[in-house]
Amino acid sequence: MNTRLTWICHGATAASRKALFPLDEPLESKAAEDAAGMAALPRADRIFTSPALRTRQTAKALRLDAGIDPALRDCDHGRWAGRPIVTIGTEEPENLEIWMSDPQAAPHGGESLSDLRARIAGWMDAQSIPGGHVIALSHAAVIRAAVVHVLQAPLSSFWLIDVGPLAIVRMTSDGRRWSLRFSISDL
């Protein structure tokens, strides 16, 4: 069975603008307006959102009736949540370096990149069983993990993928493998 998966990253938040490890913060008001002004999305068989407020608000602004799926939650940054990345780099440079260079490491007490990738890969593979079109509203880290999974790339490439607010990434599965999908409408 063929599956189309459309990832949508939540809109901008104050934390994303200030380079903070995220908490459960709301969208900026301009982000909700930007989402509401996006082109209409194609019909979907299933629509899911992360439990986070910012993704639920993005779904609402897009006029999508989405079910909450905990598997789409953001990467757990443990004790770093809500703190500036620059501060972590100053106070814990070794821990930040370990986290960014070792996919198995979680020095912040949260989730490793390896665990994040495994969680998202399992979710994607489960979505390919019923087939159809799925829309998933989630976070930049989640979408980056999905891209790494599809490309079967080393987790070090996670840091080379930029997913901005309200970005849309499309993937397809034929039931055996996932592929990235680019089209003229992606402009």
**Entry pTM:** 0.94
Residue 166 corresponds to which tokens in the numbers above? 């309200």
Task: Give the count of domains, the chain.
Answer: 1
For β-strands 3-9 and 168-173, DSSP reports them as antiparallel
Cβ within 8 Å of residue 69, ≥6 positions away:
48, 49, 50, 51, 123, 136
* 23 DSSP β-pair partners: none
pLDDT for 88: 96
pLDDT for 184: 64
pLDDT for 13: 95
Helix residue ranges per DSSP H, the chain: 14-17, 29-36, 53-61, 85-91, 93-101, 113-128, 140-151
Task: Write out the residue range of the structural domain in which residue 30 sits.
Answer: 3-186
Q: CA 96, CA 107: separation in Å to the nearest integer?
A: 8
CATH code of the domain covering residue 16: 3.40.50.1240
pLDDT by position in tens, the chain (length 187): 799 999 999 999 998 889 999 999 999 989 989 998 888 888 999 999 999 999 999 999 999 999 999 999 999 999 999 999 999 999 999 999 999 999 999 999 999 999 999 999 999 999 999 999 999 999 999 999 999 999 999 999 999 999 999 999 999 999 999 999 987 654 4
20 touches 84 (CB < 8 A): yes
Cβ within 8 Å of residue 20, ≥6 positions away:
14, 82, 83, 84, 85
HEC profile of 97-138: HHHHHCCCCCCCCCCCHHHHHHHHHHHHHHHHCCCEEEEEEE
pLDDT for 127: 96
Q: CA 152, CA 16: separation in Å to the nearest integer?
A: 27
pLDDT for 104: 96
pLDDT for 173: 96
